[in-house]
Amino acid sequence: MADLSTAPSGPLDPLRERAFVAFWSTGAVSSSANWMLGLSVPVIVYGITGSETLLGTVAVAQNLPSLFGSPLGGAWSDRHSKRLVLLGALVAQIVLTAALCEVSREQAVTVTNLMALAAAIGFASSVNLSAYQSLIADIVPEHQLRPAYRLNAIQFNLSRAIGPAIAGVVLSRWGPTAAFAINALAHLPLVTVLCFLRPRQSRPTHASPGVLAEILEGARVARGHPALRIALLTVSTSAAFGMSVQQLAAGLSREVFHVDEAGLGLLVSAVGLSAVATAIASVWLADRFRDSATVRVGLVVYGLGLLVVAATDSFAVGLAGFAITGFAHVLVNVSVTTAVQVHVPNAYRARVTSLQLMGIILSMAFGAQLGGALAEATDLPTVVAAYGGVLIGFAAWGQWRMQAFRAID
């Protein structure tokens, strides 16, 4: 377990650290760009093909590279400078997104080149996320670790709200070229901050056995620690059967709610706005509740929110259902993320963090691909309802088989 100081720390104390504020605020802009791209590519592919199956395939193309990028990013970050790893990943994202912008400007967009560039950006983004999440611990004092990661949850969910909303408006008014150009430029503020940031350096205390051995060692640590094992299983399940529904939102918006790209942006942003409000409240309220209880409630509410979405063709009610899932997402994921960062040994922080991120990204891609295929055989509301039932069932299974998730407390 991380050696946390017992010094008292208020929920907003990390905001007194200038380095954290600069990193946190520019990271919000960069993260918004990632969410913006995550919505833009499926919308364009669906517009070209009208295929729900290809919506899932796009999610796989965007997220499957994390199978390699996340663990490599974690191993590189534990071995080398997290700052430089993050900086390199951001530069790669800028170059690749600029290429996507140029392809769009030349009106040479095809499903093939969209997926190829999206896959390359997905690899760079997964390296980015592993380095970014673990770098926070080198910016704030150790006793501020909990509030820093809770504040980071606000940033993450704020980007999750802003990115899709901007994408929806830009796509409907100016088209994909403008969306890709804004996406590339949005990473520049964080690049600038990283050029001047001087975090604490965490160096390995033993000779490196090689990248693959380091990745496997991180996986063994996570598997052998009950809190880490349960946390990773929980976050992967919520991503596969909860977060993945956002990848299918383009189909829901057109076929069920009958709205355009701006409406789609609002639909996805309802998740983010609700999540932001919940994350802000959690900064002050989290210490009053056990993480295990918050996770149990969150999984059930997540499932109920999806059942609301599945049961209606009203856009307003659909917005409410998506907002409920945003509330539940924070209950589950902030508790799980905090548990991972508190329980992980510091020498393995980036590698275990990369496993968490890989679990989220790959599970979300799996859920989207499965959901798209099932929707072709049935329909999207049926798939969403089934996913809601899975989350409620997992909460019941955790209550019975995992001692009600108490290991993460």
Residue with tokens 């992980």: 344
What is the rounded distance in angstroms from the CA atom of residue 295 to the CA atom of residue 293? 5
Closest CA to 157 of 292, 403, 345, 323: 323
**Residue spans of alpha helices (H) in 207-314:** 211-224, 226-241, 249-255, 261-285, 291-310
Residue 332's pLDDT is 92
HEC profile of 103-150: HHHCCCCCHHHHHHHHHHHHHHHHHHHHHHHHHHHHCCCHHHHHHHHH
Under DSSP, the state recorded for 256 is T
Long-range contacts of 202-207 (CB under 8 A, 24+ apart): 202/78, 202/82, 202/138, 202/346, 202/347, 202/349, 204/78, 204/79, 204/347, 205/347
pTM of the model: 0.75
| Mean pLDDT, residues 242-255 | 88
Under DSSP, the state recorded for 244 is G
Q: Which residue has the higher pLDDT, 140 or 154?
A: 140
| Mean pLDDT, residues 47-57 | 78
What is the rounded distance in angstroms from the CA atom of residue 372 to the CA atom of residue 305? 19
Q: Say yes or no to pLDDT of 318 above 90.
A: yes
Over the stretch 111-132, which tens digit does the pLDDT of each residue have? 888 889 989 999 999 899 889 9
Over the stretch 161-171, which tens digit does the pLDDT of each residue have? 778 778 888 88
Sign of CA dihedral 164, 169, 170, 171: positive
Helix-helix angle 211-224:66-79, to 10 degrees: 100
Q: Which residue has the higher pLDDT, 195 or 286?
A: 195
- What structural domains and CATH numbers belong to the chain? 13-199+210-408 (1.20.1250.20)
25 burial (CB, 10 Å; 0-12 / 13-18 / 19+) is: middle
State which amino acid sits at residue 290.
R
How many beta carbons lie within 10 A of that of residue 212, not counting itself?
A: 11
Residue 279's pLDDT is 77
| Mean pLDDT, residues 120-145 | 90
75-89, 306-320, 352-366: lowest mean pLDDT where? 352-366
Residue 286's pLDDT is 67
Q: Say yes or no to pLDDT of 52 above 90.
A: no
| Mean pLDDT, residues 40-54 | 80
Residue 359's pLDDT is 85
Over the stretch 197-217, which tens digit does the pLDDT of each residue have? 988 766 554 555 677 888 888
Give the Å distances, CA to CA, from 87 to 47, 129, 392. Answer: 34, 11, 40
Q: Say yes or no to pLDDT of 100 above 70.
A: yes
Give the chain's mean pLDDT: 86
Q: Say yes or no to pLDDT of 241 above 90.
A: yes
